[in-house]
Amino acid sequence: MYLFRSTPGARRVVVLFLALLLLALFLLPAQTRSVLQQVSQPLAWLVSFPLEGFAATRQRVTELWDGYIALQDVRQDNGRLRRELELLRGQNTALREAAASAQRLEGLLAFKTRSNFESVAGHVIARNATNWYRALVLDVGDRDGVKPEMGVVTPAGVVGRVVKTTPHTSIVLMITDPNNAVTGLIQRTRDEGLVEGTARGQSRMKYIPLLSTVREGDAVVTSGLTGGFPRGLAIGVITQINKAEGELFQSAEVVPEVDFAKLDEVLVITSVHALQEEARVAQSQTPAGKGSGR
């Protein structure tokens, strides 16, 4: 922008030239002034043309410079707005996750309220990353009243059983692990069996009586005959019946109700043994129970 500004020396030359021209017009005879006027008009035009060009160029450069400065301000504003947008997006994601977590916890609390057992809520903080066993790590342990052999459930159904605890954590072996087994009951036929995990990450119900009318689509629930789980909690749905010739029992493939890949919060059942003891005591106090006691 400054390259097109006229220098002080150039301005002085132009001013001196114009002063001499005016002096000549006033002092010289009329004819001479007439000639000088005729000569001065194109000369003045020649002098003014580059000056006007310089002025126009300067004005254009000034506008471009002002536009560049304005663009720099716009770029800074865009950067600031982009950072604010990213911050708002992060906050929106966090709020959506908090809302989803609150909704899950609300469902878990409702399930806990209507359940007939005492329990402790826990969050899944780790999952097994190998194929050796299928397990979860919870953020509750001995200090929360969690002990080995306690059952773990969600509103959808059975998750597994606690196998190890520390003061603040516990390890849960899922029902899809081959080393875990739960006594199950076919809800429609009332036939009992043992539900255990398979190497393919599913579950299988064994020891179903040969005369059972079990069929695909039957629901399997906990029988409540072994520790860890009360009666009637959902385990899964039978998808295939296996009835080999010469076998004493049938078996069936069971798809668990719980989606283990999406577990976030669970309930650890802490009072099933107490409930079973209360049921046993209540049964012993009935006339039939007193008679059998005698």
Q: For residue 127, how many C-alpha atoms fall within 13 Å in the half-sphere facing its CB?
A: 9
Cβ(263)–Cβ(136) below 8 Å: yes
CA–CA distance, 47 with 175 (Å, rounded to integer) = 99
CATH of domain 120-283: 2.40.10.340
pLDDT in tens, 201-252: 789 999 999 999 999 999 999 998 876 888 899 999 999 999 887 888 999 9
The CA distances from residue 40 to 26, 31, 32, in Å, are 14, 14, 12
Domain borders along the chain are 1-114, 120-283
Q: In this model, does residue 105 exceed pLDDT 50?
A: yes
pLDDT band at 2 (very low <50, low <70, confident <90, very high): very low
0.85 exceeded by pTM: no
Cβ(186)–Cβ(167) below 8 Å: no
Cβ(126)–Cβ(169) below 8 Å: no
The token pair at 95 is 């709020």
The token pair at 263 is 């577990």
Q: Mean pLDDT throughout 68-84?
A: 74
Q: CA torsion sign, 23 to 24 to 30 to 34?
A: negative
Quick one: 236 exposed, middle or buried, by C-beta within 10 A (0-12, 13-18, 19+)?
buried
Predicted pLDDT of residue 9: 66
pLDDT in tens, 35-71: 555 655 665 566 565 666 666 776 777 777 666 666 6
